[in-house]
A and B are shown apart, each in its own frame.
Chain A
């Protein structure tokens, strides 16, 4: 029987995607990290520490919430996995706790991280504070303006935020800058990458750390007698929350749906390429220059996608669609009004697709689980500005 979302091959490939495309200077650090992760992930002491911290500090397990009003409206059974209720307000904590513990295990004292919307930066700063690590976060200058409050949060948590002024001044440039910085300090510093992207072992390791949310959701739906949902849906930038969700359902009958930003749809409008240490689907020009993604949400403003998603799309185990900025704004308001949950703009992409496709691509009566990957508090000022300018 074919099984899905297994480990990548020895060089980190998922089919023809993934791998390790980094300068020689970073190869030893990638190899060291892979070995450290393999070792830790098989060590009951590490696993206990990881799960204890996520329970006592991270607020796990997060609940699954049934949406009665929306279910009635849409003619489907809609459930939400509530990662917005995890500490720091999104699923990002699952990954950073794992990587921060690994940093200490490798004898390193500092982490660096990239961030787009600021969720991963805040989560990294949080884990660093909790575990006594130094933390520097690279953030596109444009994003520091869009997400000024998150910059302040990171600083409150003791992290240093470095605005990145190169290129498009967004997430992809923050990754470039973090990689450049990492070259200079690999001995003492771990690069705490925030998504299922980058060179091996990051796409695999981050998926493993995030798989806790998918496995939790699967057993929660079982326990309440819902069983396997017809589809599970998550937004995708790099794709860490989707990878974590899919990992819990990849070997079930559930359809796996990823929803990208229309202006950052690497699967939809991209082609294979090599960026940030991985071979994956990328939005690029006809001569192979990487293009800027465009999205209302800083967290999905990324021209690539994790290599395992490219592979899952390639073998048609998962399906990828996109949602426009306008649909996303509508979805954010609809969930807020009907269910009392303000979702992050990133998360609202997954909801927008469900709202649009209920009764179409989603047959009426289907059971649908959406990963509510993050809360919208960080976005309300931006949404206020947009809605005011529209009215």
Chain B
């Protein structure tokens, strides 16, 4: 078991639904303050989006934020450098596309993640068939590989993903890239299918936009991931105070679930 498994199980066993906000690293000079504000407002873990030139799983909002971050000169190593001084006391999970790690080298990447205090990764373009060498490089450094289950994933694949996923299982609420949505999608169904083959924490993401949606998802899942709705606020000019207010709203909503 990785340390991310241990920490997130203890959140669940403490009777708490996990709230995981997502940020595009390097979006502005003060992006580490956004992470701090989110943790202060009750985040249990934070997803750190590392910008990539060709984000195949991301919708327009996160694409735009990633473009801005890249134009500011953000790189994987510059982000990890900034993170190494950010001690927020909750697990950090890096989300990006495989090429960045492939290019830097798998062992070197995993070591750099761990050195920066990152304990998990989400790599949406790395399915279980191609996962092996990355997962073993990560596990050597006590970095977890969080895997995704989609509404289209057949049951026997759900089982395989479930058995390989570490930290939590990322249940994608809908057949879509990241972005706002007006309903809860297939989240309940996906979570139920994951639960059939394991007892790992299951978090719901993709299209969770409002506190109300977060509350509903927290009713059947162990945690909720909110990305686009937060990034949209940051792109609209809201800063750390805006993050703190919105994450606080989400916190209260899922605590009411």
A contacts, CB < 8 Å to B: 11, 19-29, 166-167, 172-173, 176, 179-180, 183-186, 271-277, 279, 282, 284, 287-291
List, in ascending order, chain A residues with CB within 8 A of B150's CB. 23-25, 27
Q: Judge whether B127 and A273 touch: CB under 8 Å.
A: no
Assembled-state Cα–Cα distance A124/B175 (Å): 25
List, in ascending order, chain B residues with CB within 8 A of A20's CB. 127, 129-130
Cβ distance B234 to chain A, nearest Cβ, rounded Å: 19
Q: Judge whether B98 and A274 touch: CB under 8 Å.
A: yes
- Is the CB of B10 closer than 8 A to any CB of chain A? no
Q: Judge whether A287 and B103 touch: CB under 8 Å.
A: yes
9 sample A-B contacts, Cβ–Cβ < 8 Å, listed by A number: A21-B127, A24-B127, A24-B147, A24-B150, A25-B151, A167-B63, A184-B175, A284-B99, A287-B76
Instruction: Tell which of B48-56, B83-91, B137-145, B209-217 binds the partner.
Output: B48-56
Cβ distance B90 to chain A, nearest Cβ, rounded Å: 26
Q: Judge whether A172 and B59 touch: CB under 8 Å.
A: no
List, in ascending order, chain A residues with CB within 8 A of B77's CB. 287
Contact of B176 among A166, A173, A184 (CB under 8 A): A184
With A23-B124, A180-B177, A288-B102 known as contacts, the answer to whether A276 contacts B56 (CB < 8 A) is yes
- Is the CB of B125 closer than 8 A to any CB of chain A? yes
List, in ascending order, chain B residues with CB within 8 A of A185's CB. 175
Q: Judge whether B102 and A167 touch: CB under 8 Å.
A: no
Q: Judge whether A180 and B103 touch: CB under 8 Å.
A: no
List, in ascending order, chain B residues with CB within 8 A of A173's CB. 54
Q: Judge whether B102 and A274 touch: CB under 8 Å.
A: yes
- Is the CB of B149 closer than 8 A to any CB of chain A? yes
B window 65-108: CB within 8 A of A = 67, 70, 75-77, 97-100, 102-104
List, in ascending order, chain A residues with CB within 8 A of B149's CB. 24
With A180-B177, A186-B175, A287-B100 known as contacts, the answer to whether A21 contacts B152 (CB < 8 A) is no
List, in ascending order, chain A residues with CB within 8 A of B148's CB. 23-25
- Is the CB of B172 closer than 8 A to any CB of chain A? yes
Q: Judge whether A176 and B54 touch: CB under 8 Å.
A: yes
Contact of A289 among B52, B56, B63, B157 (CB under 8 A): B52
Contact of B154 among A28, A166, A179 (CB under 8 A): A28
B window 28-52: CB within 8 A of A = 52
Assembled-state Cα–Cα distance A20/B148 (Å): 15
- Is the CB of B180 closer than 8 A to any CB of chain A? no
Q: Judge whether B102 and A273 touch: CB under 8 Å.
A: yes
Assembled-state Cα–Cα distance A279/B124 (Å): 15
With an 8 Å Cβ cutoff, the count of chain B residues facing the other chain is 41
With A19-B129, A186-B152, A290-B54 known as contacts, the answer to whether A273 contacts B99 (CB < 8 A) is yes
1/0 contact string of B99-124 vs chain A (CB within 8 Å): 11011100000000000000000001
Q: Judge whether B157 and A275 touch: CB under 8 Å.
A: no
Cβ distance A204 to chain B, nearest Cβ, rounded Å: 15
Cβ distance A273 to chain B, nearest Cβ, rounded Å: 5
Assembled-state Cα–Cα distance A11/B131 (Å): 12
Cβ distance B188 to chain A, nearest Cβ, rounded Å: 17
Assembled-state Cα–Cα distance A29/B175 (Å): 12
Q: How many A-B residue pairs have CB under 8 A?
A: 116
With A19-B129, A20-B130 known as contacts, the answer to whether A274 contacts B99 (CB < 8 A) is yes
List, in ascending order, chain B residues with CB within 8 A of A176's CB. 54-56
Q: Chain A residue with minimal CB distance to B104?
A: A288
Q: Judge whether B99 and A19 touch: CB under 8 Å.
A: no
B contacts, CB < 8 Å to A: 52-57, 59-60, 63, 67, 70, 75-77, 97-100, 102-104, 124-127, 129-130, 147-154, 157, 161, 172, 175-177
List, in ascending order, chain B residues with CB within 8 A of A275's CB. 54, 99
List, in ascending order, chain B residues with CB within 8 A of A284's CB. 99, 103
List, in ascending order, chain A residues with CB within 8 A of B97's CB. 274
Assembled-state Cα–Cα distance A279/B103 (Å): 11
List, in ascending order, chain B residues with CB within 8 A of A180's CB. 56-57, 59, 177
List, in ascending order, chain A residues with CB within 8 A of B70's CB. 289
Assembled-state Cα–Cα distance A24/B153 (Å): 7
Cβ distance A71 to chain B, nearest Cβ, rounded Å: 44
List, in ascending order, chain A residues with CB within 8 A of B125's CB. 21-23, 274, 277
Q: Which of B59, B75, B77, B102 counts the most A-chain CB atoms under 10 A from its CB?
A: B102
List, in ascending order, chain A residues with CB within 8 A of B75's CB. 287
Contact of A27 among B54, B153, B176 (CB under 8 A): B153
With A23-B125, A176-B54, A186-B175 known as contacts, the answer to whether A288 contacts B99 (CB < 8 A) is yes
Cβ distance A262 to chain B, nearest Cβ, rounded Å: 21
Q: Judge whether B177 and A172 touch: CB under 8 Å.
A: no
Q: Which of B53, B154, B176 counts the most A-chain CB atoms under 10 A from its CB?
A: B53
List, in ascending order, chain B residues with CB within 8 A of A27's CB. 127, 150, 152-153, 157
Q: Judge whether A25 and B172 touch: CB under 8 Å.
A: yes
With A24-B161, A289-B53 known as contacts, the answer to whether A11 contacts B103 (CB < 8 A) is no
With A21-B125, A180-B56, A290-B99 known as contacts, the answer to whether A28 contacts B152 (CB < 8 A) is yes
Assembled-state Cα–Cα distance A332/B57 (Å): 40
Q: Judge whether B57 and A23 touch: CB under 8 Å.
A: yes
Q: Judge whether A29 and B130 touch: CB under 8 Å.
A: no
Assembled-state Cα–Cα distance A282/B53 (Å): 13
Q: Chain A residue with minimal CB distance to B124?
A: A23
Q: Judge whether A25 and B175 touch: CB under 8 Å.
A: yes
Assembled-state Cα–Cα distance A28/B55 (Å): 20
Assembled-state Cα–Cα distance A20/B127 (Å): 8
List, in ascending order, chain A residues with CB within 8 A of B157's CB. 24, 27-28
**15 more CB-based (< 8 A) A-B contacts, given A25-B152, A28-B153, A287-B100:** A22-B56, A22-B125, A24-B127, A24-B147, A24-B172, A25-B148, A27-B157, A29-B152, A166-B60, A186-B152, A271-B103, A277-B125, A279-B102, A284-B103, A288-B102
Q: Chain A residue with minimal CB distance to B102?
A: A274
Assembled-state Cα–Cα distance A28/B151 (Å): 10
Q: Judge whether B126 and A273 touch: CB under 8 Å.
A: no
